[in-house]
Amino acid sequence: MKKRILAMIIAICFIFSACQQQKNTIQDMAQIQMFAMDTFIDLKAAGENGQQALLKAEKEINHLEQLFSTTLEKSEIYAINQNAGIAPITVTEDTFYLIQKAKQYYEFTDGAFDITIAPVVKAWGFTEEQKRVPSEQEIQQKLELVNQNKLHIDAENNTVFLEKQNMAIDLGGIAKGYASDKVNEILKQEGITSAVISLGGNVSVIGKKEDGSKWKVAIQDPLNEQGFAGVLEVEDTCVITSGVYQRFFEQYGKRYHHIIDTKTGKPAETGLLSVTIVCKNGTMADMLSTSIMVAGLEKGSELWKKSQDFGVIFITEEKEIYITEDISDLFTLDEDTAYKVSVIKK
Ligand code: ADP
Ligand code: MG
């Protein structure tokens, strides 16, 4: 177990340094690095109060992990899942809020985002020690447990109830985005006006760099572990990426990643290698990066067209980059890549 955690830390540090690296010269910023929520986390804040603010942020992240983990036996999600088909569980505000949001997002994405996907994610071993390819029959059995209508929430009593035994929920596609929103809130309360935080593939920036220029967030090239597809220059927003290269395993030469198509119960195969969302709301961005990987380029573009709140970068297997017009000016393609860039208009 220890070996596995160490290997994971090394792997994730490597992925982190290769992918969402900030190409910024950062001097005199307070910094905390930690491992939580199954990912490497890097927090940096400028200003006199930086260190104190980051310590509070670190505490909050650890607290949220204790609430949302699917595997920690004391977590609220664990309690909800253990009590599936038995009894409603009273949860704290954070947990209730996020599950309520997840239900709204299910509607918004037409079912692409579904936290009741947990039994399927588990069958593939993504929340277990050992990843594996489940049989077709097992996938079908688990899919029968995926049912948003049987996830009941009661706002008056702050309770959550899964109607059927063996149902389960998994906030893995949204929790890190929510954590980044909470961290931003804390940092702002502490008077921080310049900060950058990264939770694995989830980057969030406050204000601009201390020298007044925008933050540069590199977007990983999904076809080259060491390289970047390009750079986004941003301020006061979140840049959140989901991709086929983030968490996966290989069997008989085929690659299986961790973003599950709610219709098939298998890793989404929409021709997309990664989806990056630029959005002020980190929870929304995290949810969208996961669900647009499932929805694909066409439906993802439609989601963008019906909302004014976020920008998208799609990277496809065909070596194309599609970028929505609202953020196209912020993006610079890396000269060393062979991607063809197209702009999506409203
Ligand atoms: P990461 O957590 O690596 O940053 P994502 O944000 O894309 O990646 O979230 C992927 C996680 O979301 C999976 O590990 C699983 O826990 C969960 N998940 C997978 N498929 C779905 C889906 N269709 N809807 C909601 N959550 C999902
Ligand atoms: Mg996500």
Q: Does residue 12 have a pLDDT over 80?
A: no
What lies within 8 Å, CB to CB, of 327 at 6+ separation is 232, 278, 311, 312, 313
pLDDT number for residue 26:
57
pLDDT number for residue 128:
83
d(CA 319, CA 315): 7
Q: Does residue 5 have a pLDDT over 80?
A: no
Residue in 170, 176, 238, 264 to alter for ligand 1 test, most ligand atoms within 8 A of Cβ: 170
| Span between the terminal Cα atoms of the chain, in Å | 49
Same domain, 234 and 119: no
Q: Count CB atoms within 10 A of the CB of residue 315.
A: 27
Report the chain's mean pLDDT, rounded to a whole number.
92
From 107, 142, 162, the end of a domain falls on 162
Same domain, 336 and 272: yes
Phi and psi at 312, nearest 5°, equal -135, 140
For residue 161, which amino acid is it?
F
> How does strand 39-45 pair with strand 272-279?
unpaired
Same domain, 31 and 98: no
Looking at residues 226-255, what average pLDDT do you find?
92
d(CA 219, CA 139): 33
**pLDDT tens-digit series, residues 30-56:** 999 999 999 999 999 999 999 999 999
Does residue 175 fall inside a structural domain? no
Q: What residues pack around ion ligand 2 (CB closer than 5 A)? A: 173, 286, 289-290
pLDDT number for residue 27:
62
The DSSP symbol for 47 reads S
Same domain, 261 and 328: yes
Pick from 60-64, 162-166, 197-201, 310-314: least confident: 197-201
What share of residues in the chain are helix, strand, coil (percent, to 5)? 35, 25, 40
Same domain, 222 and 320: yes
Pick from 28-32, 150-154, 253-257, 303-307: least confident: 253-257
Note the pTM of the prediction, 2 decimals: 0.92
Domain extent at residue 100: 71-162
**pLDDT tens-digit series, residues 55-64:** 999 999 999 9
Q: How far is the CA of 100 from the centre of ligand 2 (A)?
A: 16
Q: How far is the CA of 258 from the centre of ligand 1 (A)?
A: 6
Does residue 301 fall inside a structural domain? yes
pLDDT number for residue 246:
83
Nearest to 217 by CA among 23, 60, 15, 9: 23
**pLDDT tens-digit series, residues 167-222:** 999 999 999 999 999 999 999 999 999 999 999 879 999 999 999 999 999 999 99
Looking at residues 301-316, what average pLDDT do you find?
94
**Residue 172 in contact with ligand 1 by CB distance below 6 A:** yes
